[in-house]
Structure 1
Amino acid sequence: MPRGAPDHERATAARRHRPAFTLPDADGREVSLADHAGRKVIVYFYPAALTPGCTKQACDFTDNLAFLTDHGYDVIGISPDKPEKLAKFRDQEDLKVTLLADPAKETLEAYGAFGEKKLYGKTVIGVIRSTVIVDEQGKVERALYNVKATGHVAKIIKDLGL
């Protein structure tokens, strides 16, 4: 898939790929998508821990985590940060969502969440803020790209009819 592929092409590519992954969490423990079999999973991709937009988004997911969990959804945040930075992020912001490290960007790329994007009017290569809903069988149900950090969780809750 070309780096600048439109969102619908990214979503199609994400659906074609098996979304399986195993990545280290903030404590260095391996977490797999398969660990969540039988539950729906909201996987969100964000550029960098400890930045204003990513902090807002992670806090928003944390604030809504009990509601989402009660409705059968687990939440996983993935960034290219190392586990040590994720641990600092989690502790500093009192985050409850599972944060996974993908410094090699393999999972980010497999989901279409890494590539060309616009940043302050310039085209750059980086993490594309994205959210992917994976169903109980491990298949991509919905993929959203170039989402906003603020208000996105409320939009997901509304779109899912929760």
Structure 2
Amino acid sequence: MVDELLGATMLAGEASRNSACGRRAVSTAYYAVFHALSDLATGSLLPGVPNAAEDYVRIYRSLDHGPLKNAFNQAPLKDDARLRSIGGLIAHLQSERVRADYLPADPLLFPHAQVIDLVLQASQIVQELRSLPDDERRKLAVCLLFRTRKD
């Protein structure tokens, strides 16, 4: 689904004539990244389990938008330069997605060049996530899905 979502960002090409297409492209780009993270987490924790399996779906659906941004600002993710960099890009894209989805209509909200840049950033993030070694993928999955208790 991630590749299909990235493909759907072709709406970015229409952004120069239609601001709604630009907003949709920004939102879709973020969701491509979000689903890439869900894929990564599930594949790291349940390798080889079919997508339709109940456990697979449960983990896939466990990723939450709110804690996602904060997880990259906490150890051990903030201590890993590569993951910290990915997290910064994701946080920025997430903020832009919120603007795209919730701000009132404004044809100047996302200039065409910015839409293209955000879509390219999403593609870059997905490539980075896919190139992570298994130990970093597992660390990322655990940190994104499970909170650290402060007892």
> TM-score interval w.r.t. the shorter chain?
under 0.3
* TM-score normalised by the chain length of structure 1: 0.26
Structure number with the higher helix fraction is 2
**Structure with more strand by fraction:** 1
Length-normalised TM-score, structure 2: 0.28
